[in-house]
Structure 1
Amino acid sequence: MMFNYLPEDLVVEILSRVPAVSLARLRSTSKKWNALIKDGRLAKKHSANAPRHSMALVLIDHMVYSVRSNLPEIHNNVAPFVSVTCHLSLKERLSKHFSTEVDIRDVFHCDGLLLCTTKDYRLVVWNPCSGETRWIQPRDSYKKDDCYALERFGSESLPEDDSHLALSVTRQGKQLCMLSTHSSYVTETNVNLWIATKSENTGAMSWRKFPILHGVGLRYRYHFREGVSFFAYQVKEKIVVVSCHRPNRYSKDIIHIVGHGKFIELDHHGAKPTHEWSPTPVLLVYVPSLVQIQHGI
């Protein structure tokens, strides 16, 4: 109620220092709050002033959920947990008084925005914090095997060792990392994580390898194969990988923590694929932001 008696410029200045996730909860409070959060003045100041905290999202059965975990604590012998919590609803407005939920086929992240391909083969850019969307008409017909990406491209060299599985970032969202496997025998596989560091002086990229699992059997190949998604959490020299894959004949759990030579399957008590042949779940790191979606380009 105090904000009702403050000048709007002062309110914008105060809210520009509040994390984006906290502001997103205010959207449903009133139309006034919702309009203020979508205001371009707040978005610009928020980008400059607010702390940026990354979070994990997972796409399961065409819906996006937030993921909570205790990764910073597991190095202190605390039992790890992962919980799939809040459902982030992407809705399409069909009329002034009616909207419907959109089924999402795939999702990509860049600078606070999500690019989603839909189950009915359409494209939409979405900011879950502000609720803003922009539907995109592809130049050609969108097909099932098409692949899309959002806003920035760069060319980087990858390590030549091992079989490359997937690229991602650290949980802090600051470093590029790669998951790879190397099979020394028919029945044994080594799983490695590579983390990239870019020189501030030359801009050259160098990679450092961290062994995650060594000499594991056939069972783990079903968890670490094409289609796996993951992110890494690094505390000093200690590395933990959170990976996600569809259920298989060895396990119905889809989220796993790997570190210190251990593979932990997590019953995360949240949303799960309805069956083994559901679309492959997608795990990604997302940095909430009030960035506005550009229109008219």
Structure 2
Amino acid sequence: MSNLPLDLVEEILSRVPATSLKRLRSTCKSWNNCYKDQRFTEKHSVIAAKQFLVLMLKDCRVSSVSVNLNEIHNNIAAPSIELKGVVGPQMQISGIFHCDGLLLCTTKDDRLEVWNPCTGQTRRVQHSIHYKTNSEFVLGYVNNNSRHSYKILRYWNFYMSNYRVSEFEIYDFSSDSWRFIDEVNPYCLTEGEVSLKGNTYWLASDEKRDIDLILRFDFSIERYQRLNLPILKSDYETEALSVVREKQLSVLLKRNDTLEREIWVTTNDKIDHTTKNLLWIKFLAIDQRTCYHWSCVSFFIDEEKKMAVFCDGYIGGINETSRRMFYIIGEDKYYRELYVGDSPIRSHRPFVFNYVPSLVQIPQATVIPKRRRQQLSLVLQRCRASKVDVWITDKIDTKEVQWSKFFTVDVDIGGRAMLSYDSFFIDKEKGMALLCGL
């Protein structure tokens, strides 16, 4: 391919899946340059075939998961789920959020990191000066002419009896700054957030009307919007939300009267910030005898195989450790449990999610040169000595001005001890002053 025009090479490479292209970047310099070119990576995200991998947050680290559901219905092979090993940087992750191939990670030592597992690129985002413990974070973007402008939403709620205080802040990658947004409080309790087409979706409960719903945060207008669930009956309870191949939403519901679960999937042609009403179809019904003990927090579905994979953890096993379990559910009451190990950590349940590798570049903060601190300077001539003192301010505020001597110089040159000047300026770095006059 070395003899091909560069634009044709780019056209070919833009169709290569992200993980394969990652391995090809060391082939030659021009290919590696494509890998780093934002224009190329944006084109690649639109044209290249999507890969759907499975990642799992377990014991504060991210692991890749191999899931094989082939030939289950034909009884040719048993399903298999295998943890392939820890991936990514050495950080203890307490929370994770996936958006557009990027992972927004909150760490146990209270840091906020953005990480692209495909490219290995990371960036730390400094907390706002208004940051409070127990703040929640989600990542999103605004689509500007096929270019994604990334933002982070921080939201914090404090409850005391019937009193509630909320804060909402936006971090903009382009300006590397936080700012408050007002009049956005949705007055809902939220959980189970996911990202779809740059916007964030939650399972929510209206505090005043006592109804369940789906809440969306639209990053383009920075406002919350309410959407419908498939069923509004009081005998149903929402349990988990998931994204299907970056196109649709799926929700897990539990019937309180029978403890049965149902998975519903949206059927809208597309879901974006303009969608006002969600259309739903029942995907799978789960017999209560196989799931009565679940406390499920995450799942994903395979539409083609008509199956769902759930991840859960519960206290048990040796020394009351937390047992990590996968449950595979299919049609005709198919059910399989797969044990993937114990964990000594009880505070965080395992979390499994579909990950789509991407070459997207994490926007880096623009380094703005620090402005020189403005100071006053003063030149004093001693009346009884041929010396000039140059002073500069150390501190200026409304109450006081503090001075320090910059330097002293003898000006008795050729018997002319007094200087005549109209203006001057100093150069602190060179330790010099220039006096101008007639």
TM over 0.5: yes
Which residue of 346, 349, 355 corresponds with 1:280?
349
As a proportion of its length, which structure holds more helix?
A: 1
Deviations 1:93-141 (A, max 9, x none): xxxxxxxx22211111111111111121111111111222221122233
Q: 1:6 to 1:82 in 2, by over 3 A?
A: same
2:302 is equivalent to residue 233 of structure 1: yes
Deviations 1:238-269 (A, max 9, x none): 6311111124338934222122323311145x
SS of the residue aligned with 1:254?
strand
Task: Report the counterpart of residue 208 of structure 1 in structure 2.
Answer: 281
Query: Partner letter of residue 224 of structure 1?
Result: S
SS of the residue aligned with 2:21?
helix
2:169 is equivalent to residue 102 of structure 1: no
Task: Report the counterpart of residue 120 of structure 1 in structure 2.
Answer: 109
2:108 is equivalent to residue 135 of structure 1: no
Task: Report the counterpart of residue 335 of structure 2 in structure 1.
Answer: 263
Q: Whose radius of gyration is greater, 1 or 2?
A: 2
2:20 is equivalent to residue 22 of structure 1: yes
Q: Tell me how far apart the structure 2 counterparts of residues 231 and 240 of structure 1 sit (CA, whole Å).
A: 9
Q: Tell me how far apart the structure 2 counterparts of residues 31 and 88 of structure 1 sit (CA, whole Å).
A: 26
Task: Report the counterpart of residue 175 of structure 1 in structure 2.
Answer: 248
2:162 is equivalent to residue 88 of structure 1: no
Task: Report the counterpart of residue 289 of structure 1 in structure 2.
Answer: 358
On the 8 A contact 2:88/2:120 being kept in 1, the answer is no
Q: Say how many residue pairs are matched.
A: 271
Task: Report the counterpart of residue 70 of structure 1 in structure 2.
Answer: 68
2:240 is equivalent to residue 166 of structure 1: yes
Please state how far the C-alpha of 1:15 moved relative to its aligned partner.
2.0
Task: Report the counterpart of residue 224 of structure 1 in structure 2.
Answer: 295
2:318 is equivalent to residue 248 of structure 1: no
SS of the residue aligned with 1:148?
strand
On the 8 A contact 1:52/1:287 being kept in 2, the answer is yes
Q: Tell me how far apart the structure 2 counterparts of residues 31 and 264 of structure 1 sit (CA, whole Å).
A: 48
What is the RMSD of the two structures over their aligned residues, measured on CA atoms?
3.0
Matches within 5 A, 1:38-77: 38-77=36-75
As a proportion of its length, which structure holds more strand?
A: 2
Which residue of 256, 259, 283 corresponds with 1:189?
259
Query: Partner letter of residue 131 of structure 2?
Result: S
Deviations 1:128-163 (A, max 9, x none): 1122222112223352x3221111243421132411
On the 8 A contact 1:179/1:192 being kept in 2, the answer is yes
Tell me which of the two structures has the higher relative contact order, counting C-alpha pairs closer than 8 angstroms and 6 or more residues apart: 1
TM-score by length of 1: 0.79
Q: Tell me how far apart the structure 1 counterparts of residues 61 and 67 of structure 2 sit (CA, whole Å).
A: 19
Please state how far the C-alpha of 1:282 moved relative to its aligned partner.
0.9
Deviations 1:58-91 (A, max 9, x none): 111111122221235433333211122143212x
Query: Partner letter of residue 12 of structure 1?
Result: E
Q: Tell me how far apart the structure 1 counterparts of residues 78 and 86 of structure 2 sit (CA, whole Å).
A: 25
Task: Report the counterpart of residue 147 of structure 1 in structure 2.
Answer: 136
Can you give the 5+ residue segments of structure 2 that lack an aligned partner in the other structure? 141-198, 201-215, 217-224, 367-438
On the 8 A contact 2:228/2:277 being kept in 1, the answer is no
Query: Partner letter of residue 336 of structure 2?
Result: I
Please state how far the C-alpha of 1:183 moved relative to its aligned partner.
3.1
Deviations 1:184-204 (A, max 9, x none): 2xxx52011111122569863
Q: Tell me how far apart the structure 1 counterparts of residues 22 and 117 of structure 2 sit (CA, whole Å).
A: 8
SS of the residue aligned with 2:306?
strand
Query: Partner letter of residue 92 of structure 2?
Result: D
